[in-house]
A = this chain, B = another copy of it.
Amino acid sequence: MEIIVKKDILSKNKVEARDNRAFAREKGWYLVNVMGSPGAGKTSLIEMLIKELEDRFKTGVIEGDIASAIDAERMEKAGIPVIQINTGGACHLDAASVRAGMEKLPLSEPGIVFIENVGNLVCPASFDLGEDLRLLVSSVPEGYDKPYKYISMFAVADVIALHKEDLIEADGFETAVFEKGLRMINPEAPLYYTSAKTGKGISELTRWLAIRIDSRI
């Protein structure tokens, strides 16, 4: 008797993510999956990190959006090798679409590749893309209660940037409540307070990233 076990979409993704990991290793790419709400500041943070990293590493970006190529055009203008993926409705990138992006990314040397996920604080948490690191961008205007509401996303993050930190006072953002919620579900991932406006925290986050990349590439 033949028993057919139907693989669900998540386990299919798992296999493809493993293949991505092998593909990236071959290329010498370190993959960073950048996740966060719409408008959290993912693109601006990636741009600033690349500026700090590009003296030492080659860099590239895979842009994920439901529609449009706004972010990819922005990266291209800045001279960064980039490829845009449009999910056409899906609320997250998956390993297969990232693989398509990796194959077309105009970066022939080893380096660091930022994968900007679809702006969403729910769906991307469930989809392994084959990345080496998950960077969660949570921004001050979203409010300090987010770790309590969007548990999976904060739980799977390897590092968190609390972005737009220059607005903490004006917004009455309670950092202690935010950190308490974060630490309940993710006791260890480093938390950096960052701002694209003032540049705060960017060097510190870059330094932390560089150590990880050095040990891999």
List residues of A whose CB falls within 8 A of some B CB: 37-39, 65-68, 70, 89-91, 118-123, 139, 141-143, 145-146, 148-152, 164, 167
Please determine whether A146 and B39 come into contact, CB atoms closer than 8 angstroms: yes
Q: List 16 A-B contacts (CB under 8 A).
A: A37-B37, A37-B38, A37-B119, A37-B121, A37-B142, A65-B149, A66-B150, A66-B152, A67-B149, A68-B149, A70-B145, A70-B149, A91-B120, A119-B121, A120-B120, A120-B121
Task: A37-B142, A70-B149, A141-B164 are known; give 12 further A-B pairs, CB within 8 A.
Answer: A37-B39, A38-B121, A38-B146, A39-B143, A65-B149, A66-B150, A67-B148, A67-B149, A67-B150, A68-B145, A120-B122, A141-B141
- Chain B residues with CB under 8 A of A139: 39, 141
The complex places the Cα of A118 from the Cα of B122 at a distance, in Å, of 9
Please determine whether B123 and A66 come into contact, CB atoms closer than 8 angstroms: no
Tell me, rounded to whole Å, the shortest Cβ–Cβ distance linking A9 to chain B.
13
The complex places the Cα of A141 from the Cα of B167 at a distance, in Å, of 11
Known: A38-B37, A139-B141. A148 touches B118 (CB 8 A): no
